């Protein structure tokens, strides 16, 4: 076909307005399941402390009639601690940037603060669950809290064939030893972990794992009885093969994928015994204006309280 002479087409125009949608699409994940599930408490010092205790093992208790009473030897409590860690994000926006009209947001400073707040929570999820030991810090050196990996001592299933080992102490001062090789998560190891936790006194309800291990959980034979086919004339026939719950001999557990934990770790947690202790809650602090820009800082200071690590456990060195 031929275009008639002198027909104006868009290729000839200079004043066409841009077609830029007034939305910004961001697919980066923001779910932080451990941070969201842990209880909140207050810290009053940079060294946050708490105590644990236990009971004597159950044994036969039969006394002679008329016998004299004998005092039992008291067992002292265990005093544990973790150091608070400072986390922040700083935003600086020029005066010109705040004055111009931007698509998808009214104010660049507000938009950047919103982004950095989400990033700060992602950083916290990472540090809370990572293989970090506690460190007091020093002048010029940041304090560091011990993460989940460093606390789980009693009920950890490590890949010993690959040299894996639980932390050498149960006080968060040592990291766990990662195996040189990894192995596939098995239902047998998971059940062993659940049994160990139950024997120690815990009642876990949350499992945190990688995406790969979440799919492995869905293939566990112990869940086969709960698979079902749902027939709906409007939607057709569907086979459900994914599991958000695992019903064990010791109770039901939520299986939650966490994008920010190490793929090799599978945490089995009794969340009654994990707390986030805030010395300083989330705050937005305006910083001094030194020129043609506005600066604000998002800041928090917090630590992980492992109220009693015996209530939880994990399967480690997996190929997740």
**CATH code of residue 281:** 3.90.1690
Say what the pLDDT of residue 222 is: 65
Residue 73 lies in a domain: no
pLDDT confidence band for 20 (50 / 70 / 90) = low
Of 7-11, 45-49, 164-168, 201-205, give the lowest mean pLDDT range: 7-11
* pLDDT in the model for residue 104: 84
pLDDT at 243 over 70: no
**Beta pairing, strands 47-52 & 78-83:** antiparallel
**Tally of domains in the chain:** 1
Q: How confident is the model at residue 228 (pLDDT cuts 50, 70, 90)?
A: very low
- Token pair, residue 25, equals 């699409």
Q: Which of 79-83, 146-150, 170-174, 248-252 has the lowest mean pLDDT?
A: 248-252
Average pLDDT, the chain: 90
Expressed as residue numbers, the domain containing 198 is 29-51+78-315
Q: Residue 201: left (phi > 0), alpha (psi -120 to 50), or beta?
A: left
Residue 232 above 60 pLDDT?
no
Q: How far apart are the first and last CA of the chain?
A: 59
pLDDT digits (tens, 9 = 90+) for 35-58: 999 999 999 999 999 999 999 999
For the chain, the maximum distance between any two Cα atoms, rounded to a whole number of angstroms, is 122
Q: Rounded to an integer, what distance in angstroms lies between the CA atom of residue 256 and that of residue 196?
A: 21
Predicted confidence (pLDDT) at residue 155 exceeds the cutoff of 70: yes
Most confident of 1-15, 34-48, 105-119, 216-230: 34-48
**Would the pTM count as exceeding 0.85?**
yes
Contact (CB, 8 A) for 200 and 165: no
41: DSSP letter: E
Say whether pLDDT at 211 is over 80: yes
Give the SS3 label for residue 170.
coil
13 within some domain: no
152 contacts 166 by C-beta, under 8 angstroms: yes
Residue 191 is assigned to a structural domain of this protein: yes
Instruction: Evaluate if residue 223 carries a pLDDT over 90.
Output: no
Within a domain: 63? no
- Residue 89 covered by a domain: yes
pLDDT surpassing 50 at residue 229: no
Query: What per-residue confidence (pLDDT) applies to 2?
Result: 80
Cβ neighbour number for residue 8 with a 10 Å cutoff:
7
In a domain, 64, yes or no: no
Q: State how far the Cα of 304 lies from the Cα of 284, in Å rounded to an integer.
A: 22
- For residue 20, is it within any domain? no
Average pLDDT for 288-300: 94
Report yes or no on 17 lying in a domain.
no
């Amino acid at each position: 076909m031929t275009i008639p002479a002198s027909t104006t087409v868009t290729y000839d125009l200079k004043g066409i307005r841009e077609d830029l949608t007034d939305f910004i699409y961001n697919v980066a994940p923001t779910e932080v399941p451990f941070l969201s599930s842990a209880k909140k408490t207050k810290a009053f010092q940079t060294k946050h402390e708490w105590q644990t205790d236990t009971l004597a093992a159950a044994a036969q208790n039969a006394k002679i009639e008329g016998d004299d009473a004998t005092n039992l030897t008291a067992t002292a409590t265990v005093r544990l601690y973790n150091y608070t860690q400072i986390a922040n994000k700083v935003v600086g926006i020029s005066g010109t940037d705040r004055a111009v009209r931007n698509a998808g947001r009214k104010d660049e400073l507000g938009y950047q603060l919103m982004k950095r707040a989400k990033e700060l929570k992602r950083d916290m999820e990472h540090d809370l669950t990572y293989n970090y030991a506690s460190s007091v810090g020093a002048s010029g050196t940041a304090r560091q809290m011990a993460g989940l990996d460093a606390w789980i001592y009693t009920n950890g299933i490590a890949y010993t064939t690959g040299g894996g080992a639980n932390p050498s102490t149960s006080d968060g001062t040592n990291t766990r030893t990662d195996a040189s090789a990894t192995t596939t998560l098995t239902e047998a190891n998971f059940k062993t972990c659940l049994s160990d936790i139950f024997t120690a006194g815990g009642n876990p309800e949350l499992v945190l794992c990688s995406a790969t291990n979440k799919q492995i959980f869905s293939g566990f034979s112990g869940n086969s009885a709960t698979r079902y086919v749902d027939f709906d004339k409007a939607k057709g026939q569907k086979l459900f093969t994914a599991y958000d719950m695992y019903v064990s001999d010791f109770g039901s557990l939520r299986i939650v994928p966490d994008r920010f934990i190490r793929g090799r770790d599978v945490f089995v947690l009794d969340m009654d015994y994990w707390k986030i202790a805030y010395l300083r809650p989330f705050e937005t602090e305006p910083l001094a204006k030194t020129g043609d820009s506005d600066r604000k800082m998002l800041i928090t200071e917090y630590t992980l309280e492992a109220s009693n690590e015996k209530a939880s456990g994990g399967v480690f060195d997996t190929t997740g």
